[in-house]
Structure 1
Amino acid sequence: MTGRLRAPTGRYGGKTAEERQAERRRRFLDAALQLFGDTPGYRATTVAALSEAAGLSTRQFYEEFRTLEDVLAALHLEVNAWAEQAVVAAVTGAENLPLAERVAAIFHAYAANVTGDPRRIRITFVEIIGVSPRLEEQRLARRARWVDLVCAEAEAAVARGEAAPRDYRLAAAAFIGSVNGLLHDWNAGWVHATLDEVVEELVRQLLGILRPPEWEPPPGA
C-alpha cells in the first residue's frame, strides 16, 4: 500500500466529507486505544481487527491511514497532548503558589491524567518502544518537550529566587526518566504505593534537584 485511498467527497447524512472523515478517524483511534493499550496490544493487532473494532471497513482504514504504525504514531501524540494540556492548565492555575505547592499541583495533574486510563500508560511507556526508528525519534521528541517544560519551570523558579541557578537540562532529562519509569512500574503493580505517595516522591526528587543542600535562597526571596 503506497498511499491512502481517496476518501469520498460531498455532503451525506447531513455531514460534510471533512466531518465524516474526522468521525472515522476518531473511531479508528478510539479502537486503537483499546486494542493497542489493552489486549492484544499493538504488535498483535491487524488492520482487519482494528477496522472491526471501529465498526468500519479496511477500505475506510486505508482512506485514513497507510499503516498500523501511523495509527500508533497518531495515538501516541494524542495521549501526550492530553497530558500536556493537563499540565499547562495546572501551571496556569498554580502560577502564584510557592514552589513546593506549585510542583505538587503540576505533578498531580500529570499523574492523574496519565494514570486515569491505564491504556494511556501502555501506549506511552510500552507499546511505542522498539517499533521503528521513526517512532523512536517521535518518542524522544515528545520526551524532549517534557524536559523543556521542566527546564522552563526551573528557570522561572530561579528568577523568583526559589531555586539554585544552574543549567538544568541534564538534570531535567534524568528526572523525566525517573518519572516515566516510576509511573510505569507503579501502573504495572511493581511499586506498592498510592498514586499520591508516588507523586510526593517525585515532588521531593525535583525539589532536591532545584534546592541542593548547599544552596541558600537570596535575601528577600
Structure 2
Amino acid sequence: MTGRLKAPTGRYGGKSAEERQAERRRRFLDAALQLFGDSPGYRGTTVAALSEAAGLSTRQFYEEFRTLEDVLAALHLQVNAWAEEAVLTAVAGAESLPLAERATKIFRAYAANVTSDPRRIRITFVEIIGVSSRLEEQRLARRARWVDLVCAEAASAVTRGEAVPRDYRLAATAFIGSVNGLLHDWSAGWVDATLDEVVDELVRLLLGILQPPGPPLAGP
C-alpha cells in the first residue's frame, strides 16, 4: 500500500469530515496507548486488533495511517507534547522563583505528567526503542528538544547570576539521559524511592551542574 485511502467528505451525524477524521484518529491513538503501552505492546499488536480496540474498521485505519509504525510515531509525539505542555506551564508560573525552587517546580511538573500513566512511560522509554531508523531519528530529535529546554533554563539562570556562564549543551544532554533512565527505572520498580525523592535527586543533580562548588556567584 503506497498511501492512505481517501477519507469520506461532507457532513454526517452533524459532524464535518474533518471532525470525524479527528475523532477517528483520536480513537486509534487512545487504543494504541492501551495496546502499545500495556499488553500486548507495539510488536504484539496487529492492525485488526488495534481497529477492534478502537471500535473502528481496518478500512478506517488505512484512511488515517499507512502502518502501525505511523501510529507509534504519532503516539510518541503526543505523549511528549503532553509532558512539554506541563513543563512550559510550570516554567511560566515559576519566573520569579529562585533557581532551586524553580527547578523543583518544573521537574515536579514533568515527572507528575510522565508518571501519571505507566503506559506513557512505556511508549516513551521502551516501545519506541529499536523499531526503525526513522523512529530512532524521531526519538533523538524529541530528546534534543528537551536538551534545548534545559539549555534555555540554564541561560536564564546565567543571566540572573544564578549559574556559571559556560556551554551547557553537553551537560544538558547527560542530564536528560539521567532523567529518562531514572524515571524509567523508578516506574519499573527498580528504584526504592518515592517520586518526590526521585525529583529531589534530579534537582540536586541539575543544581550541581549549574552551581558547582566554589566561591558564591556574584549576581547578574
With structure 2 as the length reference, what TM-score do the two structures score? 0.99
CA distance in 2, matches of 1:156, 1:119: 33
Whether the aligned pair in 2 keeps the contact of 1:164 and 1:215 (CA below 8 Å) is: no
Is the CA contact 1:37–1:127 (under 8 Å) kept in the aligned structure 2? yes
Output one character per residue of 1:1-21: Cα deviation in whole Å (capped at 9) or x when no partner: 111001111101111111000
Name the counterpart of 2:182.
Answer: 182
AA aligned to 1:199 is V
Partner of 1:121: 121
Task: Tell me whether 1:50 sits opposite 2:50 in the alignment.
Answer: yes
For residues 166 and 33 of structure 2, the distance between their equivalents in structure 1, rounded to whole angstroms, comes to 40
Structure 2 residue aligned with 1:202: 202
- Structure 2, unaligned runs of 5 or more: none
How far is 1:212 from its partner?
0.5
SS across alignment from 1:108: helix
Identity fraction in percent:
85
What CA deviation, in whole Å up to 9, does each residue of 1:145-202 have, x standing for no partner? 0000000000100000001111000000000000000000000000010000000000
**Residues 4, 62 of structure 1: 8 Å contact kept:** yes
Report the 3-state secondary structure (helix = DSSP H, G, I; strand = E; otherwise coil) of the residue aligned with 2:163. coil
Q: Which residue of structure 2 aligns with residue 73 of structure 1? A: 73
The separation in 2 between residues aligned to 1:145 and 1:7, in whole angstroms, is 33
AA aligned opposite 2:173: A
- Give the SS at the match of 1:176: helix
SS at match of 1:87: helix
Amino acid at match of 1:20: R
**What is the rounded CA distance, in whole Å, between the counterparts of 1:15 and 1:156 in structure 2?**
46
Post-superposition shift, 1:216?
Answer: 2.5
Which amino acid is 1:103 matched to?
Answer: A
Letter in 1 for 2:6: R
- Runs of at least 4 residues of structure 1 off by over 6 A? none
Number of the residue aligned with 1:98: 98
Indicate yes or no: 2:179 matched with 1:191: no
Change (3 A) 1:82 1:215: farther
1:5-20 mapped onto 2 (5 Å cutoff): 5-20=5-20
- Measure, in 2, the Cα distance between the counterparts of 1:20 and 1:163: 50
Specify the alignment match of 2:155 in structure 1.
Answer: 155
Structure 2: how far apart are the matches of 1:15 and 1:175?
46
Where structure 1 has 5 or more consecutive residues not aligned to the other structure, the ranges are: none
- Counterpart in 1 of 2:172? 172
Local SS of the residue matching 1:196: helix
- Residue 80 of structure 1, CA deviation: 0.2
- How many angstroms apart in 1 are the aligned matches of 2:11 and 2:99? 53
Task: For residue 215 of structure 1, report the CA deviation from its aligned partner.
Answer: 4.6
Structure 1: which amino acid aligns with 2:35?
L
> Whole-Å Cα distance in 1 between the matches of residues 213 and 201 of structure 2?
17
Q: What is the one-letter code of the residue matched to 1:106? A: I
Number of residue pairs matched?
220
SS in 2 for 1:51: helix
